[in-house]
Chains A and B, each alone.
Chain A
Amino acid sequence: MLLFLARRIGVMLFTALCLTFVVFYLTNLPAKLETLAKTQAGSRISDAEVASWLDRNGYNQPMLTRYGEWLGVVPGWTREEADGGMTGRCYRLADISEPGAAPDRCGLLQGYWGNSTRFRADVADVITARLGATGILMLWVLIVMVPMALLVGVLAGMREGSRTDRSLSTFAIASTATPEYVSGVVFIALLASSAVGISPLLVSWGVIEGPVLFQGNARSALEKITFWNFFLPVMTIALYGMGYVARITRASMTEVMTQQYIRTARLKGVSFPNIVLRHALRNALIAPFTVIMLQIPWLLNGVVIVEVLFSYPGFGWVLFEAAANNDIELLLAASVVAVVVVLLTQLISDIGYVYLNPRIRIS
């Protein structure tokens, strides 16, 4: 088991290294650097000014050297200023100018994530603050999504081909066909619009005080989460992810229900609810567990869409802003986080699978 873990972590690190290099390469293309220079130093500067801006800020070294700087394996660039002070990657990050005062290397390995050019703040601070906001969103999504998906899947799968099965399966298919930007738009139009949907009706009946039933903007949830400002974003993400998990649960449940031991239990007179709860459920939930774990990175897509649509400033919103402004170091940090989430959930799902299913042993 330890050897398996060590090998998996080794592959994970190598994957993360490859992926961050790809992100680094794509964000540091000459055309993208030019855009960055223009957003930082003014949009009308000439080509010569762009070149000198890039030169002054250490962007004109070879790509691999700068990737090494970012990782912290290559010493950061330095230059003596006209007034005798020193400047350079590490000097700027530490905000000092005395020669020799800054460390030699300052990258990921030394704990420096760099500065965000979009938010003009430390990347680590931006990411941790926003990740917290997204963590709460994801927590609620999972709280809503997982029980709902398992319930739908188990109910549909326990009697294959029945009317319940048909209608719940169709519902699951419909939910996988509704991406977040569709369900979000429909929800807002139906529940959070002061002009159409049910809100004007409820207002005219005097059921609700404010102009709308649900808030179409989740920014206020940062201070205080209420049912009314958080329900729509959570439902929008949960709905799209739910269908897939429900279908896997159903498939797994129908397979279990045809097993010999279920028939034996039936023949010895165990009641149907007892068969489902005691005998079938435990074995039927192995496959959904792995799928739920693998679903988490997939929800990231939804998080970006929903946070942009409902203007909820979380991790997805930061990713969108960083990409729109070519904020290199923020984008790199965000991709490191995203990649780590993907690889960690894969690892957990593998380990959990082995743990839940004693038939599989890793040598």
Chain B
Amino acid sequence: MTDPLTWPGIFAQLGLQLWPVWIAIVLLFAVSISFKRHLGLYGKLFDSTIGMFGFTLVMFWVFTALFADLIVTHDPLAQFSGMRNAGPGSALRDPAGGYPHFLLGGDALARDVFSRMVMGAREVLRIAPFAAMISFMIGISLGLPAGYIGGKLDTGLTFVANLVLAFPVILLFFLLVAPEIQNTAIPRVMAGFLFLMPVLFFTVLLNARFFTQPMKRNLYVGAVVIVGLWAYSGLAFNADPFGVWGMSPNLLNVFVAVVFVNAPTVFRIVRGITMDIKTRDYVAAAQTRGEGPWYIMMWEILPNARGPLIVDFCLRIGYTTILLGTLGFFGLGVAPESPDWGSTINQGRRLLTVYPHAALAPALALMSLVLGLNLLADGLREESLKD
């Protein structure tokens, strides 16, 4: 049996264990900084200290999630004898050729906190960016016409958005994410509606641009429709004939709830920006040219709204991460063994005053990821305002 590690030792071992992440970050920064004048807004990010710091934090967790299999020291689900609530740096009783220590200690079920934290990054980053993306496509597809066309359509959509926003998020989660709901048609129906939006979005986007060149249009729109509907059938109805796309009922339930909460806010932002931009001269010029409403919305207004939308997208990934953590904290919609950060905090809080390490590690991880995203958004906002 080896000796337990002290804090300097723990940090040294953590640094060693995370080697793929350091290499990837150094490579990424070397390439990005040397080409930063050719990379547009992304390159400008490297002029702002705050933005760069945020970007480093975000990429740290992205690479951790990517290389999680190389980084983990133990199986995140395995239990080891004698390691229940073990302190950080404790040595395993019988490593059996594996890693000899629990770097950040063991949890109440004698599992390795460090490995669970690393795997938790993968759980979170698998859902949060995609949920934010789908929310954005829904918000954009509905917000553009609401702001541009206005009238009854706007009144109706705004009322529905306000209805969802008037719901306290937590109440909606309690009601919507439950084992009983998973067995009903509700998540499927909602997914059927929500996941259809991205397909419609891309179809309309490409059709509006290329409808004057039928050959190109047929090719692009056809490809989008085929791939889109293929993914759609798998993700929303679990009916993918090839079994490539799919989501467990658990995951689908969480995903739908998170998208449902986020989309109305995006809708309101897009609607506001659209109402502002539609009074500009270039929109009037396009109208005089005889462009269709969808072309103006998708190819005149949307590209000019990208600045605030990119910033809000970063913030929204962070907010989605917080929402996922909230779900995990209340034990909603996650598999019982899942290493995601919210449910690890939830399990750790029972013994919080005696063995805080099991809850602290995922809590600080979640905080640093969200902080990174918020700082990144702030840096992007500052740099995009400089134009």
Is the C-beta of B288 less than 8 angstroms from some C-beta in chain A? no
Cα distance, A188 to B348, chains bound together (Å) = 12
- Residues of A with C-beta under 8 A to B378: 169, 173
- Residues of B with C-beta under 8 A to A45: none
The contact string, 1 if C-beta is below 8 Å from chain B, for chain A 174-200, is: 101111011001101100111111000
- Please count how many residues in chain B sit with their CB below 8 Å of the partner chain's CB atoms: 45
A interface majority secondary structure: helix
Q: Find out whether the CB atom of A188 lies under 8 angstroms from the CB atom of B326.
A: no
Is the C-beta of A78 less than 8 angstroms from some C-beta in chain B? no
- For the complex formed, measure the closest distance between the CB of A301 and the CB atoms of chain B, giving whole angstroms: 5
Q: Find out whether the CB atom of B171 lies under 8 angstroms from the CB atom of A319.
A: yes
Which of A26, A212, A331, A343 gathers the greatest number of chain B CB atoms within 10 Å?
Answer: A26
Q: Given A27, A185, A212, A323, which contacts B359 in the complex, CB threshold below 8 Å?
A: A185
Q: Find out whether the CB atom of B180 lies under 8 angstroms from the CB atom of A19.
A: no
- For the complex formed, measure the closest distance between the CB of A239 and the CB atoms of chain B, giving whole angstroms: 11
- For the complex formed, measure the closest distance between the CB of B312 and the CB atoms of chain A, giving whole angstroms: 14
Is the C-beta of A32 less than 8 angstroms from some C-beta in chain B? yes
Across the A-B interface, how many residue pairs have beta carbons closer than 8 Å? 136
Cα distance, A177 to B369, chains bound together (Å) = 8
- Residues of A with C-beta under 8 A to B174: 319-320, 323, 331
- Residues of B with C-beta under 8 A to A31: 180-181, 183-184
Q: Given A193, A297, A331, which contacts B353 in the complex, CB threshold below 8 Å?
A: A193
- For the complex formed, measure the closest distance between the CB of A217 and the CB atoms of chain B, giving whole angstroms: 9
The contact string, 1 if C-beta is below 8 Å from chain A, for chain B 224-259, is: 000000000000000000000000000000000000
- Residues of A with C-beta under 8 A to B322: 179
Q: Find out whether the CB atom of A185 lies under 8 angstroms from the CB atom of B360.
A: yes
- Residues of B with C-beta under 8 A to A304: 170
Q: Find out whether the CB atom of A173 lies under 8 angstroms from the CB atom of B354.
A: no
Q: Find out whether the CB atom of A29 lies under 8 angstroms from the CB atom of B162.
A: no
Cα distance, A178 to B363, chains bound together (Å) = 9
Is the C-beta of A305 less than 8 angstroms from some C-beta in chain B? yes
Q: Find out whether the CB atom of B374 lies under 8 angstroms from the CB atom of A177.
A: yes
Cα distance, A363 to B168, chains bound together (Å) = 31
**Of A110-118, A260-268, A269-277, A334-342, which binds chain B?**
A334-342
* B 192-237 contacts with A by CB, 8 A: none
- Residues of B with C-beta under 8 A to A166: 50
- Residues of A with C-beta under 8 A to B356: 185, 188-189, 193, 195-197
Q: Find out whether the CB atom of A177 lies under 8 angstroms from the CB atom of B371.
A: yes
Q: Find out whether the CB atom of A179 lies under 8 angstroms from the CB atom of B325.
A: yes
Known interface pairs A177-B371, A179-B325, A181-B329. Does A343 touch B166 (Cβ–Cβ under 8 Å)? yes
Q: Given A29, A297, A300, A316, which contacts B180 in the complex, CB threshold below 8 Å?
A: A29
The contact string, 1 if C-beta is below 8 Å from chain A, for chain B 372-385, is: 01110010000000
Q: Find out whether the CB atom of B170 lies under 8 angstroms from the CB atom of A300.
A: yes
Q: Find out whether the CB atom of A320 lies under 8 angstroms from the CB atom of B330.
A: yes
Q: Find out whether the CB atom of B371 lies under 8 angstroms from the CB atom of A193.
A: no
- For the complex formed, measure the closest distance between the CB of B55 and the CB atoms of chain A, giving whole angstroms: 14
Known interface pairs A29-B181, A181-B329. Does A19 touch B170 (Cβ–Cβ under 8 Å)? no
- Residues of A with C-beta under 8 A to B171: 23, 319, 323, 334-335, 338
- Residues of B with C-beta under 8 A to A335: 168, 171
Is the C-beta of A170 less than 8 angstroms from some C-beta in chain B? yes
Q: Given B175, B176, B326, B352, which contacts A189 in the complex, CB threshold below 8 Å?
A: B352
Q: Find out whether the CB atom of B176 lies under 8 angstroms from the CB atom of A26.
A: yes
Cα distance, A48 to B259, chains bound together (Å) = 38
Cα distance, A20 to B246, chains bound together (Å) = 33
- For the complex formed, measure the closest distance between the CB of B176 and the CB atoms of chain A, giving whole angstroms: 7
Q: Find out whether the CB atom of A305 lies under 8 angstroms from the CB atom of B175.
A: no
Known interface pairs A185-B363, A195-B355. Does A323 touch B175 (Cβ–Cβ under 8 Å)? yes
Q: Find out whether the CB atom of A305 lies under 8 angstroms from the CB atom of B329.
A: yes
Known interface pairs A177-B371, A185-B363. Does A32 touch B180 (Cβ–Cβ under 8 Å)? yes
Is the C-beta of A43 less than 8 angstroms from some C-beta in chain B? no
The contact string, 1 if C-beta is below 8 Å from chain B, for chain A 324-340, is: 00000001001100110
Q: Considering the complex of A and B, which 5 residue pairs feature the smallest CB-CB distances, nearest first?
A: A323-B174, A189-B356, A31-B180, A177-B371, A177-B370
Beyond the given pairs A177-B373, A316-B170, 7 more chain A to chain B contacts, judged by CB atoms under 8 angstroms and listed by A's residue number, are: A169-B378, A181-B342, A301-B168, A319-B170, A319-B171, A323-B174, A339-B168
Query: Which residues does B use to contact A, with CB under 8 Å?
Result: 50, 162-163, 166-171, 174-176, 178, 180-181, 183-184, 186, 318, 322, 325-326, 329-330, 342, 345, 348-349, 352-356, 359-360, 363-364, 366-367, 370-371, 373-375, 378
Query: Which residues does A use to contact B, with CB under 8 Å?
Result: 15, 18-19, 22-23, 26-27, 29, 31-32, 34-35, 166, 169-170, 173-174, 176-179, 181-182, 185-186, 188-189, 192-197, 212, 216, 297, 300-301, 304-305, 308-309, 316, 319-320, 323, 331, 334-335, 338-339, 342-343, 346
Q: List 27 A-B contacts (CB under 8 A).
A: A15-B162, A19-B163, A31-B184, A32-B180, A35-B180, A174-B374, A176-B374, A179-B326, A181-B326, A185-B348, A185-B349, A185-B363, A186-B364, A188-B352, A189-B353, A189-B359, A189-B360, A196-B356, A216-B353, A300-B168, A308-B330, A320-B174, A323-B175, A331-B174, A338-B171, A339-B166, A339-B168
